[in-house]
Chains A and B, each alone.
Chain A
């Protein structure tokens, strides 16, 4: 694998391979000295055009635990417009000598564009509404950790599917690994077409909850209201929020997931977020190991891993 641009491009075997690598790095992160020299002498650069704390920190932690050097290029949304073309920026960073560029951008497709211009590996850390592949990988890893596998399990993804890169990546990843996915959303927050999506569609969350093993809640953004996509956050919470009452509809073994940051009281009730079945913190923890696996797979020589980690 040269780049990681999206889950849509990955085969089930490639996803499996990355999750298998993640097992090794989870073990590394549990050591007293959670660091390996696998990427010593390699440089990973961030090219973040969009504010992001958790994804950036997670990648940074992953790179450091692999002993890679890091360079950070953060562009505030205001200075982006000052004229340098995306291509010039990408070539500038590459010229400083980097092996991988981790790209986050508010526009769909930017990582794919950068990958055409540079010879370094490109990792998509979230592009517009398109994809967020490392999020999907850590979600798969977390589900596997709790349920043993994804194969045959039923997963509901709830919320703003239309504007969600997490939903797009998760739908591909979950279904490629054999899960049955139902998307649940207000009609205005479904994509304009679901042709070609291997999912079932449901508007009524209450009907879905009793039959799922995983309920995956998406972040509900305030701006969707100003665009008149939903009448109010209150109505959203009443119909699509995971309230205390709705949790009772779930099977006792079912888990609750969220990509973060959570809007407590909107898509998830505060006390639901704190239940042990809500595995949000596990997702974050696994995120570091998954990103180590991705960086290692793209940049590692293969020999450094050996039997050690």
Chain B
């Protein structure tokens, strides 16, 4: 169907930053035409049933590994975008640790082209340093002209403090945002899970929480020095959350994200030696999980990001210390937030849609209020539906979900991208 077709979402409760209300949503020409109770379909309208459902802004993921170019056996932009749409996302941000890295205009163009015509609005970040090698800055001004707003060496942190200072000064002057994967590699080297009681018991070398916290601390200091906007990716420790909370209190322009696995799972999972539980930063302790949840509740953590990191099955069939870190996240994030965070739907819209959209600078298109005139990027979620996670049934080309066999509450029924239903009744339409 074309985006020109009219769509009517009937019988749901609309949820956005302004709260919840019973209303139908009429869509025309890719935009929301009306939000009112009891709208009647006109002839030719496509009607989507939303009985018992929440009608929300489409979700925005600012941390997605789409693996293309280079690791197409694990994921492609097309399959990742489909997984995103099935998870309720209408916008994802590709991470630059591809092969080659997203560090030049050519690769940026390739990724954006591959994103065209998929189920999702695919944006891309770019690396801070060439080849993510931590030595030379990427041509940020040139990449910004192609629409890149967000720079990160994700997969690694920028180790050199002097280079990071220069990156902040340069990016800040261009109005761009730098994001950091916080890990001091001198301290984390050789580790494969959280360092602590569990790692000591089972004999897997650990990564201390301080490896993350030292870089959070350092970059807060650099943000003060340079005045730059800094976004901290996938914060996982109690100390990191506390430092960012304090930095915000001090008026610095810092934002941060946390992943669903860091608010739902602990390092005890690694005792199974199943590399599906290996991720970077690693699963931490109960106290860290509680701190992340508290940070999400009080706003210290701005948003939920998936760190969706597909790996081909054979890569996760290696010994724990040889397997690559990372887990799937796009199709489970919303259900995990609904199941495990005691937050009102309007707060979840903030964490999963409105604030990540603002951090990315796409708030005019995604994550905004559900009101007449806005782009019709929406998702419809049944908050009471239960389902059992099965890696082989997920749309991702990989199946490395740590939630295999787990029963979750909350399922995406429909997703609309610029008014087009790309997911209908939990089935992808592209």
Write the residues of chain A forming the contact surface with B, with a CB cutoff of 8 angstroms: 8, 85-88, 105, 107-110, 112-113, 116, 127-131, 162, 165, 168, 191-197
Q: Is the CB of B318 within 8 A of A86?
A: yes
Residues of A within 8 A of B208 (CB): 192
Considering the complex, give the chain A residue whose CB is closest to the CB of B314. Answer: A85
Write the residues of chain B forming the contact surface with A, with a CB cutoff of 8 angstroms: 195-197, 199-206, 208, 272-274, 314, 317-322
Given A107-B320, A109-B202, A193:B273 Cβ within 8 A? no
Given A86-B319, A107-B322, A109-B319, A194:B202 Cβ within 8 A? no
Given A86-B317, A128-B203, A113:B197 Cβ within 8 A? no
Q: Is the CB of B202 within 8 A of A107?
A: no
5 further A-B pairs in the complex, CB-CB below 8 A; given A87-B317, A105-B319: A108-B202, A108-B320, A168-B203, A192-B195, A192-B206
Q: How far is the CA of A41 from the CA of B257 in the complex (A)?
A: 59
Considering the complex, give the chain B residue whose CB is closest to the CB of A84. Answer: B314
Residues of A within 8 A of B322 (CB): 107
Residues of B within 8 A of A131 (CB): 203
Residues of B within 8 A of A112 (CB): 272-273
Residues of B within 8 A of A129 (CB): 203-205
Task: Identify 9 residue pairs between A and B in the complex whose beta-carbon atoms are under 8 Å apart, listed by A's number.
Answer: A8-B201, A86-B319, A109-B319, A112-B272, A128-B203, A129-B204, A129-B205, A131-B203, A194-B200
Residues of B within 8 A of A196 (CB): 197, 201
Q: Is the CB of A109 within 8 A of B195?
A: no
Q: Is the CB of A113 within 8 A of B319?
A: yes
Q: Is the CB of A195 within 8 A of B197?
A: yes
Given A86-B319, A113-B319, A192-B208, A130:B203 Cβ within 8 A? yes
Q: Is the CB of B321 within 8 A of A128?
A: yes
Q: How far is the CA of A197 from the CA of B201 in the complex (A)?
A: 8
Q: Is the CB of A109 within 8 A of B317?
A: no
Residues of A within 8 A of B318 (CB): 85-86
Residues of A within 8 A of B197 (CB): 193, 195-196
Q: How far is the CA of A193 from the CA of B273 in the complex (A)?
A: 19
Q: How far is the CA of A44 from the CA of B320 in the complex (A)?
A: 25
Among B195, B205, B274, B314, which residue has its beta carbon within 8 angstroms of that of A113? B274
Q: How far is the CA of A88 from the CA of B318 in the complex (A)?
A: 10
Q: Is the CB of A193 within 8 A of B196?
A: yes
Among B200, B314, B317, which residue has its beta carbon within 8 angstroms of that of A193? B200
Considering the complex, give the chain B residue whose CB is closest to the CB of A194. Answer: B200
Interface centre among A85, A105, A112, A116 (most CB of B within 10 A): A85
Q: Is the CB of B319 within 8 A of A191?
A: no
Residues of A within 8 A of B202 (CB): 108-109, 130
Q: How far is the CA of A193 from the CA of B274 in the complex (A)?
A: 22
Residues of B within 8 A of A107 (CB): 319-322
Interface centre among B197, B203, B318, B322 (most CB of A within 10 A): B203
Considering the complex, give the chain A residue whose CB is closest to the CB of B321. Answer: A107
Considering the complex, give the chain B residue whose CB is closest to the CB of A129. Answer: B203
Q: How far is the CA of A88 from the CA of B317 in the complex (A)?
A: 9
Q: Is the CB of B317 within 8 A of A108?
A: no
Residues of B within 8 A of A128 (CB): 203-204, 321
Q: How far is the CA of A130 from the CA of B202 in the complex (A)?
A: 5
Residues of A within 8 A of B195 (CB): 192
Shortest Cβ gap from A225 to chain B (Å): 16
Considering the complex, give the chain A residue whose CB is closest to the CB of B204. Answer: A108
Among B196, B200, B204, B206, which residue has its beta carbon within 8 angstroms of that of A109? B204
Given A129-B203, A130-B203, A110:B319 Cβ within 8 A? yes
Given A108-B320, A192-B208, A195-B197, A113:B203 Cβ within 8 A? no
Residues of A within 8 A of B203 (CB): 108, 127-131, 165, 168
Residues of A within 8 A of B317 (CB): 85-88, 113
Shortest Cβ gap from B278 to chain A (Å): 11
Among A86, A88, A127, A192, which residue has its beta carbon within 8 angstroms of that of B199? A192
Considering the complex, give the chain B residue whose CB is closest to the CB of A110. Answer: B319
Considering the complex, give the chain B residue whose CB is closest to the CB of A89. Answer: B317
Q: How far is the CA of A85 from the CA of B200 in the complex (A)?
A: 27
Residues of A within 8 A of B321 (CB): 107-108, 128
Shortest Cβ gap from B213 to chain A (Å): 16
Q: How far is the CA of A42 from the CA of B203 in the complex (A)?
A: 32
Residues of B within 8 A of A86 (CB): 317-319
Considering the complex, give the chain A residue whose CB is closest to the CB of B193. Answer: A108
Residues of B within 8 A of A116 (CB): 274
Q: Is the CB of A113 within 8 A of B196?
A: no
Residues of A within 8 A of B274 (CB): 113, 116
Residues of A within 8 A of B273 (CB): 108-110, 112-113
Interface centre among A109, A191, A197 (most CB of B within 10 A): A109
Residues of B within 8 A of A108 (CB): 202-204, 273, 319-321
Q: How far is the CA of A120 from the CA of B397 in the complex (A)?
A: 31
Shortest Cβ gap from B225 to chain A (Å): 32
Considering the complex, give the chain B residue whose CB is closest to the CB of A8. Answer: B201
Q: How far is the CA of A131 from the CA of B199 in the complex (A)?
A: 13
Q: How far is the CA of A85 from the CA of B275 in the complex (A)?
A: 13
Shortest Cβ gap from A164 to chain B (Å): 9
Shortest Cβ gap from A49 to chain B (Å): 9
Residues of B within 8 A of A197 (CB): 200-201
Shortest Cβ gap from A78 to chain B (Å): 14
Considering the complex, give the chain B residue whose CB is closest to the CB of A105. Answer: B319
Residues of A within 8 A of B320 (CB): 107-109, 113
Shortest Cβ gap from A201 to chain B (Å): 12
Shortest Cβ gap from A228 to chain B (Å): 12
